[in-house]
Amino acid sequence: MTDWEAKAAAKRAQRDALLPKDTLLPSAPTDLDVSSVPATSGILSARELEITGTPSITALLDALKARTYSAEEVVSAFCRRAAIAHQLTNCLTEIFFDRALAHARDLDAEYARTGRPRGPLHGLPVSLKEQIAVRGVERSFGFVGWLGRVPESDAAITTLLVEAGAVPYCITNVAQHLGFGAAVNNVFGETCNPHNRNLTPGGSSGGEGALIALRGSVLGVGSDIGGSVRIPAGFSGLYSLRPSYQRFPYEGTCNSQEGQESLRSVLGPMAATVDGLRLAFKAVIDGRPWRLDPVVLRMPWSEERYRLAEHGGGERLVFGMMSDDGFVRAAPPYARALADVKAALETAGHTVVPWKAYDAERGYALFGEVWMADGHKDLYDTLALSGEPRVGPLGSGPETLLEDEVTITKYWEIQYRKQRFLKEQLDHWNRTAEHTGTGRPVDAIICPVSATPPQTLRGRQYYGYTAWCNLADLPSAVIPVTRVNPAKDLKVTRDDYYNWLDKELWEMYDPEVYKNGPIGVQIIGQKDEDEAVIRMAEIVDAALKASKSC
């Protein structure tokens, strides 16, 4: 065993020793689908199952404010369910349950004394992605060379959530250097998808996705790296929001050690129920994040945007729908999911029109040039601290580019081409006003979250369906729609392909391999339309639920 392997093993042992002994499973389940295990294991009481199985985050917050549940018993229930989720998927990196319970007891005492809840998230347990600083809790980003680094203060997002009454209690696993659509690194290993443990839960916030999917959390915070990628929470069958770059805070400190703050990320909420997106985003924005993070715009929550004032008040919306970006076609399950969404929206009185991607091949190449401008020098310098190797799935970077560090002059030339492309893309969107019949462009775009269902562990990845949102800084929300069904999502033979990647990903699809993998869609708005995107996600989700109840 190498030195770095020994350090990683010791860290994992230290983490696992913090799991409550009465939550340990008697044996490791062998089923691929373990989504029902927390509820059927016999470990959680009826009261704990009631709390963690709440039908909505709003209902749970109402119960906390009505004192139907105390903050302590809610936090305890989620800590115990998180411990079970971790044993099933390897989703946690840091555990501080005792500290969270003490925090919850303080909230209960304060509520009893003042008669007022702390804030809009009073008593709600929240989980956080590994990159987010929590004072006194080790933060390594999944690098062996960064083990032992402990933040001396909270990140801005942590501060704002705590001020709103939330209770952080655990940290979740990530992709090495936060740079691909899975959650695997040399310190904590690989997180799997609870619906099919041969598949990834997505990433780089994969630990967060797996935890929420098993209801070990109902609200968490994940991220995109600015200018980089994510395969979002739709891969775990839950809801997520990617805000515009300067709307949601990040910055924190970590005892002044270099490297820990080199990544500026776009953080966003991930939730078990759709109302969590609005509750979390609004609570953070109402906390005036610009007073803590110098990058965040002084842009308060806009009820006007949320009520869709620029989109006909939400009546008779026009959605552009894309099932194929013209560079890599999405796998068969997405065609069924999009058809279900289209039918549900039309039944609800909205209009769905085809959307043609604007030069996806060129956009994907530009995205790669921005993402890999440093040739991953930061990554390799960090790996050298411990001697650990690089890990990740096939295709964890745009395959057309070599990892060469570009000059400053070349980088600004890339940025110039990027801005020209984004203007052309914006014009392409705005020209749809000529055909919608409403006098305005399509209100939002609906498309797959990836070209494939949740990939096999270390399987080939394509980021194009989300990368264009990162490149153009477009807010997007992900909602779950269905699961891969081998009887319905048959493999389809094609005679022609756009390129080698399109061919490889299409032929890789096997409905039995991907069985039960969650399939979600994105709702994408124009820049800084975060509140509008949240509302449109609620509308799409409600339409889907209404159609399924008929």
Q: Are residues 260 and 372 in the same domain?
A: no
To which H or E segment does residue 470 belong? helix 464-472
What total of structural domains would you count in the chain? Answer: 2
Same domain, 295 and 311: no
318-377 per-position pLDDT tens digit: 999 999 999 999 999 999 999 999 999 999 999 999 999 999 999 988 988 887 888 888
Q: What is the CATH number of the domain that holds 65?
A: 3.90.1300.10
Q: What is the pLDDT of residue 232?
A: 64
- Does 226 belong to an annotated binding site? yes
Q: Is residue 418 annotated as part of the catalytic site, yes or no?
A: no
Q: Among residues 342, 329, 361, 356, which one has the least CA distance to residue 452?
A: 329
Helix or strand (DSSP H, E) at 481: strand 476-483
Say yes or no: 220 and 128 in one domain: yes
Amino acid 427 reads D
Give the residue from 149, 174, 95 showing the smallest Cα distance to 386.
149
* Whole-number Å distance between alpha carbons of 122 and 47: 19
Domain limit, last residue, from 278, 302, 326: 302
In a domain, 495, yes or no: yes
Q: Are residues 347 and 237 part of one domain?
A: no
What pLDDT, on the 0 to 100 scale, is given for residue 227?
Answer: 35
Q: Are residues 347 and 429 in the same domain?
A: yes
Query: Is 204 annotated for ligand binding?
Result: yes
Are 414 and 493 in a shared domain? yes
Q: What is the pLDDT along the chain (550 residues), one digit of tens a residue?
A: 899 999 999 999 999 999 999 999 999 889 999 999 999 999 999 999 999 999 999 999 999 999 999 999 999 999 999 999 999 999 999 999 999 999 999 999 999 999 999 999 999 999 999 989 999 999 999 999 999 999 999 999 999 999 999 999 999 999 988 878 889 999 999 999 999 999 999 888 999 999 999 999 999 998 754 334 456 666 888 999 989 888 888 754 433 333 333 344 568 899 999 999 999 999 999 999 999 988 899 999 999 999 999 999 999 999 999 999 999 999 999 999 999 999 999 999 999 999 999 999 999 889 888 878 888 888 889 999 999 998 877 655 544 444 678 889 999 999 999 999 999 999 999 999 999 999 999 999 999 999 999 988 878 888 889 888 888 889 999 999 999 999 999 999 999 999 999 999 999 999 999 999 999 999 999 999 999 999 999 999 999 999 987 6
In a domain, 26, yes or no: no
For residue 357, the enclosing domain spans 304-549
User: Which amino acid belongs to residue 202?
Assistant: G
Q: Are residues 335 and 287 in the same domain?
A: no
CB burial readout 193-202, b (16+ within 10 A) else e: bbbbbbbbbb
**AA letter at 115:** G
Q: What are the two backbone dihedrals, phi and then psi, of residue 320, each rounded to the nearest 5 degrees?
A: -90, 135
- Distance CA(370)–CA(421), nearest Å, equals 13
Q: Which residues contact 412 (CB under 8 A, 6 or more apart)?
A: none
Asked if 133 and 222 sit in the same domain, the reply is yes
Whole-angstrom CA distances from 17 to 95, 388, 464 are 10, 24, 40
Q: Are residues 135 and 38 in the same domain?
A: yes
Whether residues 448 and 352 share a domain: the answer is yes
Q: Distance between CA atoms of 547 and 340, rounded to whole angstroms?
A: 9
CA angle 196, 197, 202 (to 5 degrees): 85
Domain presence at residue 27: no
Among 52, 307, 7, 331, which Cα is nearest to 142's? 7
Which residues, 6+ apart, have CB-to-CB distance to 313 below 8 Å?
307
Residue 544 known to bind ligand: no
Q: Is residue 154 part of a domain?
A: yes
The last residue of one of the domains, among 266, 287, 302, is 302
Rounded Cα gap, residues 270 and 286, in angstroms: 18
Residues 175 and 291 grouped into a single domain: yes
Residue 228 known to bind ligand: yes
Whether residue 150 is found in the same domain as residue 9 = yes
Retrieve residue 271's tokens.
């939730």
358 assigned to some structural domain: yes
Burial of 460 (0-12, 13-18, 19+ CB in 10 A): middle
Query: Is 228 tagged catalytic?
Result: yes
Backbone angles phi, psi at 171, to 5 degrees: -120, 145
The reply to whether 204 belongs to the active site is: yes
Q: Which of 127, 205, 228, 450 is an active site residue?
A: 228
DSSP 263-321: --EEEEEEESSTHHHHHHHHHHHHT-GGGT-TTS------HHHHTTGGGGGGSS-EEEE
Rounded CA separation 84/194 (Å): 12
- The last residue of a domain, from among 302, 333, 352: 302
Give the pair of three-digit tokens for residue 448.
């797959």
The dihedral sign for the CA sequence 304, 308, 311, 313 = negative
pLDDT for residue 233: 64
| CA-based nearest residue to 349, from 194, 158, 542 | 542
